[in-house]
């Protein structure tokens, strides 16, 4: 997949990110994050990202997140995101994974399963240093996973590696990038620095 565009194109104004000023940062991010984002549907490069606010399972705001990809829009990733406001006004995002991912696919179409969701169905996905931290500028959110602190052991490579990620959420789009590095910070995979996959908000 090479649907890449520069983040410098994101000079955006009004839209879904215009929310009530009395919200906490985590509440605003959850509200701004909710929706569906798509690119290149019907092709092998298709990606659909859908996020739905759910009842809180602990402190902060909670969002169900699913990514589908390729021409058949098969499920690629599912997470529950916990959003908590930090003392400096930024928002920490902790990603929880499903113990039984298949049973929790397309939860927006399964109100019973959604209502029954609990922490017993989840486990924390990555190490503490891999939390994504979001900051807001005007109407645009930027979320960072820092490869200096996000270090995992790759079962496939049999070694430690650094993980970095960037997301930019605007009123009309969601831009994402993920990158893997060796411990000497040489990039192993992912988008080039400054490049993103750009998905358009459709609802």
Q: What one-character DSSP code corresponds to residue 128?
A: G
- pLDDT of residue 124 exceeding 90, the answer is no
Average pLDDT over the chain, rounded to an integer = 89
Average pLDDT over residues 177-191: 96
- Contact by Cβ (8 Å): 80, 122: yes
| Total count of domains within the chain | 1
* pLDDT tens-digit readout, 35-61: 999 999 999 999 999 999 999 999 999
CATH number for 171 = 2.40.128.590
- Contact by Cβ (8 Å): 164, 130: no
Q: Which residues contact 3 (CB under 8 A, 6 or more apart)?
A: 39, 40, 45, 47, 197, 198
**Joined tokens for residue 192:** 């080039």
- pLDDT of residue 15 exceeding 50, the answer is no
Gap between the Cα atoms of 153 and 50, Å rounded: 29
For residue 16, what pLDDT is reported?
47
- pLDDT of residue 157 exceeding 80, the answer is no
The pTM is what? 0.87
Task: Write out the residue range of the structural domain in which residue 24 sits.
Answer: 4-201
Task: Give the residue carrying structure tokens 């985590």.
Answer: 26
- pLDDT of residue 65 exceeding 70, the answer is yes
* pLDDT tens-digit readout, 78-93: 999 999 999 999 999 9
């Amino acid at each position: 997949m090479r649907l890449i565009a520069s983040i410098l194109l994101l000079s955006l104004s009004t839209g879904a990110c215009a929310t009530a000023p009395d919200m906490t940062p985590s509440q605003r991010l959850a509200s701004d994050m909710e929706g569906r984002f798509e690119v290149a549907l019907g092709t092998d490069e298709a990606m659909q990202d859908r996020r739905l606010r759910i009842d809180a399972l602990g402190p902060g705001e909670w969002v169900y997140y699913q990514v589908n990809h390729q021409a058949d829009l098969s499920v690629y990733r599912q997470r529950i995101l916990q959003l908590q406001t930090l003392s400096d006004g930024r928002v920490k995002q902790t990603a929880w994974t499903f113990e039984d991912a298949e049973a929790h696919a397309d939860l927006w179409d399964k109100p019973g399963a959604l209502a029954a969701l609990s922490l017993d169905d989840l486990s924390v996905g990555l190490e503490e240093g891999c939390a994504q931290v979001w900051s807001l500028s005007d109407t645009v959110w930027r979320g960072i996973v820092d490869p200096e602190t996000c270090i995992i052991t790759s079962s496939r490579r049999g070694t430690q590696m650094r993980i970095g990620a960037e997301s930019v959420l605007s009123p009309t789009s969601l831009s994402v990038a993920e990158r893997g590095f060796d411990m000497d910070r040489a990039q192993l995979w992912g988008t080039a620095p400054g490049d993103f996959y750009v998905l358009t908000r459709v609802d």
